[in-house]
Chains A and B, each alone.
Chain A
Amino acid sequence: MNRVVVTGLGVVAPNGIGLADFTEAIREGRSGIQFYKELEDLNFSCCIGGIPAVTEALKKRYFTDLQLRNFNASGITYGCIAGIDAWNDAGFTSSDAVDYESGIVFGAGTSGVEKFRESVYKLDDGKVRRLGSTVVAQTMASGVSAYLGGMLGLGNQVTTNSSACSTGTEAILIGFDRIQSGKAKRMLVGSSNGHGPYVWGAFDAMRVMNYKHNDSPERGSRPMSATASGFVPGSGAGALILESLESAQKRNATIYAEVLGGAVNSGGQRNGGTMTAPNSDAVRRCLRSAIDSSGIHPNEIDLINGHLTATVKDTTEVENWMHTLQRSGKNFPYIQSLKSMVGHCLAAAGSMESVAAIIQLKEGFIFPTINCEDIHPKIEKLIDSAKISDKAIKKELNIVAKASFGFGDVNACILLKKYQ
């Protein structure tokens, strides 16, 4: 079986666009959360969120004028920028020939919700014939992979996956499997999520978003905090180039990290699991199985990049890690949440957070989890509070565990190792 390494990264995040900017942002604990008047005007309870600062000029560097004509799909914009960046970062460019050894798994929750809304108005007005030719491409779930496939000329499997907030982590595992089994040499994997009221509204309606920090947006996303009161919605995209070790070595590529293994499963919405809550037994099985498949001992994990959305389930997550790893107190690894800076980027979360995890392995630091100066007392009982840091820590890391959980009671976990 092929070993699988990461040879390229791309990211479009509310607190930084591109690898350099994003690395600086997470190192300094920069928040990308802002107040949005549009949400207030639409009577949202939570009027804060995370939106990457993508300008029209930046879009023009990635899309042709024709592609941008009548284009209105922020998730596809983010996905394509991150995907192309990752591909270039790995040392590849777009080519006229088809590369049958490289494919794409780019996940999404929904695609082009803004475009869909536009179209529904036209349809209801009896103007179906006025929709134009690009509504399908902009609203289909596989929008990002379809656009990217054409931009880069990739000819292996080009597809999308969707498993709610575990989408991004799952995408990495699907690409990993494909390379490990020899079906592809390289896979561009990742996920994206658009922004705005039509994406976020249904979560606001569920009252699961934080409505208490409209006047202090940067303080709003508070994973593991005693005053956590719901997640803050985010958006963006993360992309990774996975490659067989053999292929990477042959072309002398920069290797960021190795993907050791991982697992996905579901709690079946039984034993405490529901559409929206996890079955902890299944979570532990998933984490355990990911560790086993990676051939490591739980004690080797230096850092957990958690799902940790800033809801009451944060404590449950820490508990699940503790039981799975059989580590607690001072023996517990460091644990962090990118969501403290960018909010919950939904389908994009797993891939953006994996990019952040890999940056830390490569650069040797632990980014701060902001807004948890008041660590939840229940979490403090489980693990040493020094394992959650609101300051960046310079530290050589060897193994990072990354997990994501999603609606539908689905789980995904991967293990990443510094490549030596």
Chain B
Amino acid sequence: MTNIDLIASLKKIVKPYIQNEVAFENLTEETDFINDLKINSANLVDVVLDVEDEFDIEIDNESMEKMLNVKAAIEIISTKLNSK
């Protein structure tokens, strides 16, 4: 799966939780979940669960702590997918 595909999937996953439409429309690898998309920090847990369901992977606590922006999320998902 290419990064472009991953970003597209991720965009779909975070959509219900975002509170900044403009930042969401202009989402790039540099986009931060909390500071840019204004996702409630409690909801990051739900984003992670939705990612697990979408890609059929398990994201451990340490990885989850790092999953604060698109770039980190893509890296973690790619790594988990590759080690499947």
**Chain A contact patch, size range:** under 10
Q: Mark A105-134, 1 if CB is under 8 A from B, else 0.
A: 000000000000000000000000010111
The answer to whether A69 and B45 have CB atoms under 8 Å apart is no
A65 CB contacts on chain B under 8 angstroms: 16
- The verdict on A66 contacting chain B, using a C-beta distance below 8 Å, is yes
B42 CB contacts on chain A under 8 angstroms: 133-134
B46 CB contacts on chain A under 8 angstroms: 69-70, 132-134
Q: Give the distance to chain B from A96, nearest Cβ to Cβ, in Å.
A: 14
Q: Give the distance to chain B from A5, nearest Cβ to Cβ, in Å.
A: 37
Q: Give the distance to chain A from B79, nearest Cβ to Cβ, in Å.
A: 19
- The verdict on B17 contacting chain A, using a C-beta distance below 8 Å, is yes
Q: Give the distance to chain A from B32, nearest Cβ to Cβ, in Å.
A: 19
Interface residue ranges of A65-90 to B (CB < 8 Å): 65-66, 69-70
The answer to whether A132 and B49 have CB atoms under 8 Å apart is yes
If over half of B's interface residues share one DSSP class (helix, strand or loop), that class is named, otherwise mixed; here it is helix
Complex Cα–Cα for A388 and B45 (A): 56
A69 CB contacts on chain B under 8 angstroms: 16, 46
Complex Cα–Cα for A133 and B17 (A): 12
- The verdict on B43 contacting chain A, using a C-beta distance below 8 Å, is yes
The answer to whether B17 and A66 have CB atoms under 8 Å apart is yes
Q: Which residue of chain B is the closest to A69 with respect to CB atoms?
A: B16
Q: Which residue of chain B is the closest to A136 with respect to CB atoms?
A: B42
Q: Which residue of chain B is the closest to A65 with respect to CB atoms?
A: B16
A130 CB contacts on chain B under 8 angstroms: 49
Complex Cα–Cα for A69 and B49 (A): 13
Complex Cα–Cα for A133 and B50 (A): 12
Complex Cα–Cα for A130 and B52 (A): 10
A70 CB contacts on chain B under 8 angstroms: 46
B17 CB contacts on chain A under 8 angstroms: 66
Contact of B16 among A66, A132, A133, A134 (CB under 8 A): A66
A residues near B, CB below 8 A? 65-66, 69-70, 130, 132-134
Starting from the known contacts A65-B16, A130-B49, A133-B43, 14 additional A-B residue pairs (CB-CB under 8 Å) come to: A66-B16, A66-B17, A66-B43, A69-B16, A69-B46, A70-B46, A132-B45, A132-B46, A132-B49, A133-B42, A133-B45, A133-B46, A134-B42, A134-B46
